[in-house]
């Protein structure tokens, strides 16, 4: 979460947030990092009047990015360990476990035991208290993260990760952070950050898994007009 004098930026996991965090901290003197992946309910009182900006990406692409990012870590987070059976399961089986996590009491109990009581400075930054909400959640895991992050924010401006560099510019301009040479240069020249190595996301899905993700994460799919296809990024 970044708070400036003109906006609050909420960072949704694996959805281009690291790029915008770095841009705001580099280019906006008033930018303050409040925490990492914190939901709107954690915005400090002095920032509650500010407009909220965030990002979202295709759920199909999110799961591919998340899986391969964790797979490449020397020590994956507890969530990955639990839904992948410590890395034994392949992409299909792992994502099936993840999108149905809210109804899997055995894995939920293990995750709850592994999570901290308080927010941390990195990682997925879920805490034990989030598990109660996940138990009640009737949807996919990415949609849970999305709802958790933005719930309570009035009309957040949510930019598609797939069009981030172009679509964030008019948002920042409207909020008074453009024109600015630093921001313009960053958007034009800065590389992606915190990326994972994988092929085209559509290649990791068979029809059954693609349909399952579309159904479980329909809140994000329908709200932002996503469809499954080879152009996923």
DSSP 136-188: H--S-HHHHHHHHHHTT-SS-EEEEGGGHHHHHHHHHHHTT--S-HHHHHHHH
Q: In the prediction, which pLDDT does 154 show?
A: 94
User: Where are any strands of DSSP class E within 57-165?
Assistant: 157-160
Q: In the prediction, which pLDDT does 122 show?
A: 86
Q: In the prediction, which pLDDT does 144 show?
A: 98
Mean pLDDT by 10 residues, the chain (233 residues): 97 96 95 95 95 98 97 95 97 98 97 96 93 96 98 97 95 91 95 90 96 98 89 62
Q: In the prediction, which pLDDT does 230 show?
A: 53
Task: List, in sequence order, every residue forming a beta bridge with 160; answer none if it has no partner.
Answer: 56
Q: In the prediction, which pLDDT does 233 show?
A: 61
């Amino acid at each position: 979460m970044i708070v400036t004098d003109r906006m609050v930026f909420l960072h949704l996991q694996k959805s281009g947030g690291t790029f915008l965090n770095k841009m705001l901290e580099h280019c906006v003197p008033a930018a303050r990092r409040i925490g990492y992946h914190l939901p709107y309910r954690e915005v400090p009182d002095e920032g509650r009047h500010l407009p909220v900006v965030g990002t979202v990406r295709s759920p199909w692409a999110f799961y591919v990015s998340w899986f391969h990012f964790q797979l490449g870590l020397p020590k994956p987070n507890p969530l990955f360990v639990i839904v992948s059976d410590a890395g034994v399961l392949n992409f299909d089986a792992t994502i099936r476990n993840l999108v149905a996590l809210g109804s899997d009491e055995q894995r939920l109990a293990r995750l709850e035991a592994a999570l901290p009581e308080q927010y941390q400075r990195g990682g997925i930054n879920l805490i034990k208290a989030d598990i109660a909400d996940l138990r009640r959640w009737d949807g996919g895991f990415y949609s849970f993260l999305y709802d958790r992050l933005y719930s309570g924010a009035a009309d957040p401006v949510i930019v598609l990760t797939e069009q981030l560099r172009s679509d964030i510019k008019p948002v920042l301009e409207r909020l008074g952070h453009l024109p600015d040479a630093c921001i313009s240069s960053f958007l034009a020249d800065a590389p992606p950050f915190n990326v994972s190595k994988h092929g085209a996301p559509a290649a990791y899905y068979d029809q059954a898994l693609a349909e399952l993700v579309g159904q479980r994460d329909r809140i994000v799919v329908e709200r932002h007009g996503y469809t499954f296809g080879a152009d996923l990024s």
